[in-house]
Amino acid sequence: MKTFEQTITRTVYQSEVLVRVQTTNPILAPIIQWADEHPSVWQVVTTKRSKAFGLGSDQYLGCVQHSMDSDGILERVRHINDVVECKQPCYTPDSIFVWRAQFTLAHYNDKGFKGGFFQQHDADYPRSCLTLDYTPETYEEVLNRFCAWMDTCYETHRVTINSKTVRTFPREDV
């Protein structure tokens, strides 16, 4: 029998902004680099302040929604990067989903930043819904963007944010 020692070298990719995040997966190295270039990304995915993309958001797979280990954090960052960069066929630059991710990153550090559950209602049922972030200054812009996105197959009677009516629509009686 022959015995020998072997030295193994691994390359570790580590964030310079959130130093506890690291990986040996070279595929995730550009994700770390992108997040380091956009430091608010790290805050978005590690706190609950963003309802759309924060910790616990339903945007992410269940196993990483609340995870604070490197893999969980990196998966959330990877998801936001995919949306912002339109890396999946379902994302287009004019999509509300791309706009929502870009909006969250652009306004995360603004005063009064928060999120809410926006929902369209017809006479009988709740219809289209989406979690969006906003600030007092961007509230109308975000509400208008949601209203433009809503399902036009239904006669909208009202829009709610977190179950509170924020806009009503006059009935168009024939």
Q: What is the mean pLDDT of residues 136-149?
A: 96
Structure tokens at 77: 């960052």
Report d(CA 150, CA 7) in Å as an integer.
59
Q: Do residues 74 and 21 make contact, with C-beta atoms less than 8 angstroms apart?
A: yes
Report d(CA 41, CA 108) in Å as an integer.
9
Beta partners for residue 117, in sequence order: 131
Residue ranges covered by each domain of the chain: 13-107, 114-168
Q: What is the pTM of this model?
A: 0.88
- The DSSP secondary structure of 39-100, one letter per residue, reads THHHHHHHSSS-TTTSTT-TTS-GGGSS--SHHHHHHHHHHHHHHHTT-STT--TT-HHHHH
- State yes or no: pLDDT of 42 exceeds 70: yes
41 SS3 class: helix
Report residue 33's pLDDT band, with 50, 70 and 90 as the boundaries. Answer: very high
pLDDT in tens, 44-83: 999 999 999 999 999 998 888 999 999 999 999 999 999 9
Q: What pLDDT shows up at residue 93?
A: 87
What distances in angstroms separate CA 48 from CA 32, 52, 81, 142, one per listed residue? 20, 9, 18, 19
pLDDT in tens, 73-118: 999 999 999 999 988 777 888 899 999 999 999 999 999 999 999 9
